[in-house]
């Protein structure tokens, strides 16, 4: 067997082992007091409820890519975008987070977030920046989302109060999030909010922002300025 063939087989074996290791994942404990999450960089994050102690499972070919920090009940995960801008192909980390108590706040910067089961708790604050993406199913009393810099969120479920603040080309698709009260503000060209309100809608759109309203809210308070627009999908709600 020639040396070239031996080196090729050795390389394939090492690559296979590395791939298998990344698919298996590495488990880390999370402190019981964990109630806040911040994810920075191109990390795919999945929330999974559990009745056991909180933990996270990280899937990556290189654990050194991912910084992990815990301070003041906040779990912070970070990976530098420069790792993915080189010609070398690097596997983007995937993290499963198993939580056993309400997560009060979540901040995403470039990262993506989804949940395996409905997020059921009193309230949550969600912040998205720099092309971050969130796809969540929720059952809450209050949902507060603030998004900017091209971020996108898809939210469905039920809430009593839905507070929305969008800017800089961000998009919220929440026409399947049934809310009693909706307070929505959008600013900037390409900034779009799709919402669903049943009782009260307070909407403000400016600088070519767009709000599309589903449902038939009993009371509507709206303001448009500098090319902003608010469109009711049910004309009977224009009171």
Domain end, chosen from 96, 116, 136, is at: 116
Domain that holds residue 195: 118-239
- Claim to verify: residue 151 and residue 237 sit in the same structural domain: yes
Four-residue CA torsion sign, 141, 139, 175, 217? negative
**Token digits of residue 50:** 């559990």
In Å, how far are 5, 106, 172 from 38, measured between CA atoms?
46, 6, 20
Each residue's pLDDT tens digit, 191-226: 999 999 999 999 999 999 999 999 999 999 999 999
pLDDT of 17 over the 50 cut = no
Each residue's pLDDT tens digit, 77-136: 999 876 666 555 667 899 999 999 999 999 999 999 999 999 999 999 999 999 999 999
Domain end, chosen from 116, 151, 184, is at: 116
pTM assigned to the model = 0.87
pLDDT for position 62: 84
pLDDT of 140 over the 50 cut = yes
Residue 17 located in a structural domain: no
Percent of the chain predicted with pLDDT > 70:
85
- Claim to verify: residue 112 and residue 162 sit in the same structural domain: no
- SS3 of 19, please? helix
Question: What is the distance between the alpha carbons of residues 147 and 128, in angstroms, rounded to a whole number?
Answer: 5
- SS3 of 17, please? helix
- Which residue reads 């806040």 in tokens? 36
pLDDT for position 83: 66
- Claim to verify: residue 103 and residue 171 sit in the same structural domain: no
Question: What is the distance between the alpha carbons of residues 150 and 158, in angstroms, rounded to a whole number?
Answer: 25
Each residue's pLDDT tens digit, 150-187: 999 999 999 999 999 999 999 999 999 999 999 999 99
pLDDT for position 200: 98
Each residue's pLDDT tens digit, 25-71: 999 999 989 999 999 999 999 999 999 999 999 999 888 889 999 99
Residue 13 located in a structural domain: no
Domain end, chosen from 116, 142, 157, is at: 116
pLDDT of 20 over the 60 cut = no
């Amino acid at each position: 067997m020639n040396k070239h063939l031996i080196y090729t087989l050795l390389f394939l074996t090492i690559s296979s082992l590395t791939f298998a290791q990344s698919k298996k994942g590495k488990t880390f404990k999370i402190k019981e007091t964990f109630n806040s999450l911040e994810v920075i960089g191109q990390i795919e994050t999945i929330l999974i409820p559990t009745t056991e102690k909180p933990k996270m499972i990280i899937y990556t070919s290189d654990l050194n890519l991912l910084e992990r920090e815990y301070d003041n009940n906040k779990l912070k995960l970070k990976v530098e975008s420069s790792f993915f801008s080189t010609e070398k192909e690097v596997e983007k980390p995937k993290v499963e987070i198993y939580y056993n108590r309400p997560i009060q706040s979540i901040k995403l910067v470039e990262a993506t977030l989804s949940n395996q089961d409905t997020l059921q708790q009193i309230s949550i604050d969600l912040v998205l920046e720099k092309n971050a993406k969130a796809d969540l199913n929720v059952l809450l009393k209050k949902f507060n989302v603030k998004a900017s810099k091209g971020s996108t969120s898809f939210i469905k479920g039920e809430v009593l109060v839905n507070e929305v603040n969008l800017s800089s080309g961000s998009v919220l698709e929440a026409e399947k999030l049934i809310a009693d009260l909706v307070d929505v503000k959008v600013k900037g060209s390409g900034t779009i909010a799709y919402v669903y309100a049943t009782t009260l809608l307070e909407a403000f759109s400016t600088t070519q922002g767009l709000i599309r309203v589903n449902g038939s809210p009993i009371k509507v308070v709206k303001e448009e300025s500098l090319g902003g627009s608010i469109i009711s999908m049910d004309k009977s709600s224009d009171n």
